[in-house]
Amino acid sequence: MNKVIVLRGVSGSGKSSLVQLLRSKDYKLPPMNGMGPMDPTVYPPMVRLAEALREYYDPEQLVLSVSADDYFMRNGEYHFDPTRLPYAHGRCLLTYLDNVNQLGKYNDRDVLIVVDNTNTTAVEVAPYIAIAQAHRLLVHTFTLIADPEKAARRNKHGVPYSNVYNQHLRLNGSLRNWPSWWSQGIYSME
């Protein structure tokens, strides 16, 4: 069965590392922030999250991912331009829609589409869920809760602490008002 996972979490909470983990097929932990392979004893929250995903994710599925960050990559380097953020999110949503519309081309192979953005509010998540539901795809959100100070140090794009803290406030605020009909798992990354 084709599925969608919408990741939510502040910059540095582990969303992109989780996508790498899903794509590895054998759950080998990817390098974290260029520091070499992640040792499960050093970062057990990712291992716990990977274990939780085993109930939702089949390693035989093809994994497609979309992220607004993709549109800031140039020759393998990240070049963030805040004036281009609305365009990046628009392109991310269009890429997601293209992936959903092209699921038939995979000849009955199960596909998992992962949305890898901060998605700190229900407004940001709503288009992804609505598109998945309109296409009768199983959709689930995974909210990664991380200490904003640690996440600011961990994030690989140099997002300043003040921005990460504001993401943290929006994310926590959204947990209180999350639509009950949207499937959600909440995981501590500490």
Give tens-digit pLDDT for 135-159: 999 999 999 999 999 999 988 888 8
Cα 73 from chain centroid (whole Å): 17
pLDDT digits (tens, 9 = 90+) for 37-47: 444 444 677 77
Query: pLDDT digits over 5-23, tens only?
Result: 999 999 999 998 888 878 7
CATH code matching the domain that covers 3-188, chosen among 2.70.98.40, 3.30.70.60, 3.40.50.300, 1.10.3720.10: 3.40.50.300
Domain locations along the chain = 3-188
The set of residues, in sequence order, having a beta carbon less than 8 Å from that of 79 and lying 6+ positions away, is 72, 73
In contact, 185 and 142? CB cutoff 8 Å: yes
**Whole-angstrom distance, CA of residue 100 vs CA of residue 102:** 5
Mean pLDDT rounded to a whole number for the chain: 87
Task: Report the predicted TM-score, pTM, of the whole model to 2 decimal places.
Answer: 0.88
Q: Which pair of structure tokens corresponds to residue 95?
A: 């890429």
Which residues lie across from 73 on neighbouring strands? 78
* DSSP calls for 113-125: EEEES---SHHHH
Strands ordered across the beta sheet of 138-145: 62-66, 111-116, 3-9, 138-145, 184-188
Q: For 54-109, what is each residue's pLDDT tens digit?
A: 777 777 789 999 999 999 988 988 888 889 999 999 999 999 999 999 999 998 88
